[in-house]
Amino acid sequence: MGAQICQEEDYIDFETDPEVAARRNKLFNQYVAPFYNMIYKLCIKYSFSSCNVEENYNEVLINFFRRIETYDPKRPIRTWLHICTKRHIFALERKRQSHDIPSCDDDDIEVFGDEILYDDEVKGNVMGIDNYRELYNDEILSVLDEMKPIHRDAFLLQEAGYSLKEIVEIEHRKGTLKSKNIETVKSRLFLARQYLKKHLTRDGKRVSDQTDDEGI
């Protein structure tokens, strides 16, 4: 079984303005369509039941069409696709559970064999604390290196697509957050972004003749 290649007209929302639909369609074909197979494999990976894969796949693509204008081309497309796919599938599955919708008898995801996207394959596509150095230029990295680790890590987790609540959980488990206080994480993110704004231009270049050896 492989990803079903969907025709672009399947995702046009005819209730929107024609110009908006045309613009979304162009962006969808540019950024999403080349990764149909990867998205399908992610649907296999994150669906709670194998019988939900096809429906989740279709819902995920529709969601991408609706949200495509929110994508920032400066960010890695694979990271954005992965995070959005994962979150939307989890939302769909939670909705099914809240309505007590029974799953099919075939819950063995192994039936998909080697089409499953394993963790090692996913890690190469998604930004995280371990691989962010591969995704930023040297000037951004030099500024990140100057920051306090607790501020930098919060920023990187948010850039990777984690919600504030998820960042709180991650940092608390790591021991860098004594209590699960979301306001503390907000403060760290604010300080991180203020530091980056002070030392980097909008296009990721370091502000010249500006040094701050102490970091934040």
User: Does residue 215 sit within a domain?
Assistant: no
- Which residues face 200 on adjacent strands? 206
User: Is it the case that residue 215 has pLDDT exceeding 90?
Assistant: no
Residue 138's contacts (CB-CB under 8 Å, 6 or more residues apart) are none
User: Is it the case that residue 92 has pLDDT exceeding 50?
Assistant: yes
Pair (111, 65) in one structural domain: yes
Read off the pLDDT band of 6 (50, 70, 90): very low
Q: Which domain holds residue 95?
A: 8-123
Please state, in angstroms and rounded to a whole number, the distance separating the CA atoms of residues 129 and 167.
Answer: 12
Tell me the C-alpha to C-alpha distance, in Å, between residue 89 and each of 48, 59, 152, 214: 9, 8, 29, 43
Pair (118, 150) in one structural domain: no
Taking residues 54-77, what's their average pLDDT? Answer: 89
Pair (103, 26) in one structural domain: yes
In DSSP notation, 61-91 reads HHHHHHHGGG--TTS-HHHHHHHHHHHHHHH
DSSP type of residue 5:
P
Pair (84, 182) in one structural domain: no
pTM of the model: 0.46
Select the more confidently predicted residue: 97 or 126.
97
pLDDT for residue 100: 57
Read off the pLDDT band of 67 (50, 70, 90): confident
Please count the structural domains in the chain: 2
User: Does residue 191 sit within a domain?
Assistant: yes
User: Does residue 210 sit within a domain?
Assistant: no
User: Does residue 194 sit within a domain?
Assistant: yes
Q: Which of 63, 90, 123 is the last residue before a domain boundary? A: 123
Taking residues 184-205, what's their average pLDDT? Answer: 89
Pair (115, 195) in one structural domain: no
Read off the pLDDT band of 128 (50, 70, 90): low
